A and B are shown apart, each in its own frame.
Chain A
Amino acid sequence: EAGVAQSPRYKIIEKRQSVAFWCNPISGHATLYWYQQILGQGPKLLIQFQNNGVVDDSQLPKDRFSAERLKGVDSTLKIQPAKLEDSAVYLCASSQRQGPSYEQYFGPGTRLTVT
């Protein structure tokens, strides 16, 4: 079974530029998550989707971050404009369903460096 796919793996941009990350979850997984992992810290949830609907985006900085999952399968996370403090690894995860019984599977992440 293929795992969670993410691209690109690495991205370097200048501040005030825009960037987008892509995630393809495990086939059949209804729930998709985006996490931000700043160097030396644990991952922090940015947004959670159930199919193509947003379940939780309370920690998403909505003035510059946006995410979509239009067809309920793959998802994109966008930052516009980027700030230096956005430098982090962006992790995508998926689970079969929402709820405590369902394990989250993580992709390899996209490492973003903002200069």
Chain B
Amino acid sequence: GNSVTQMEGPVTLSEEAFLTINCTYTATGYPSLFWYVQYPGEGLQLLLKATKADDKGSNKGFEATYRKETTSFHLEKGSVQVSDSAVYFCALRNNNAGNMLTFGGGTRLMVKP
């Protein structure tokens, strides 16, 4: 079956530090990969996605590259801001199984000024 594993948090960084949140997956077939972000008191929002191997998703300074050989989709940002403090979820969707999303456990990021 499908599963997503991401690094446990919380991750605490100072403003302008480099961010990496690791995500690895297990899936049948060729899934699409996603990063969602959940700001305090708000719903999940799609941050970025990649639909095939070697694709790079990017948005708001965040990037993640679909690595089929290592079954990974690590999230990176070169310089974090206090406003990036949130919980980040890695997820996959098996393109042969409708629209069902499988999520990782989430990683809380705290950025200090």
Contacts and interface: CB of A to CB of B under 8 A. Distances in A.
Interface of A: 3-4, 31, 33, 40-45, 48, 55-56, 91, 93, 95, 98-100, 102-109
B106 A100 contact: no
A93 B36 CA distance: 13
Q: How large is the interface on B (under 10, 10 to 19, 20 to 34, 35 or more residues)?
A: 20 to 34
Interface in B86-101: 89, 91, 93, 95, 98-101
B69 interface: no
A109 B100 contact: no
Contacts of A105: 43
A31 B100 CA distance: 11
User: Which 7 pairs of residues, A with B, have the shortest CB-CB distance?
Assistant: A42-B103, A106-B43, A106-B44, A100-B95, A108-B43, A107-B43, A43-B103
Q: Is the interface of A mostly helix, strand, loop or mixed?
A: loop
A113 to B, nearest CB: 16
Interface in B32-65: 32, 36, 41-46, 51
A98 B106 CA distance: 25
A108 B42 contact: yes
Contacts of A98: 98-99
A93 B93 CA distance: 15
A48 B100 contact: yes
A41 B104 CA distance: 7
A104 B99 contact: yes
Contacts of A108: 41-43
B4 interface: yes
B86 to A, nearest CB: 14
A45 B95 contact: no
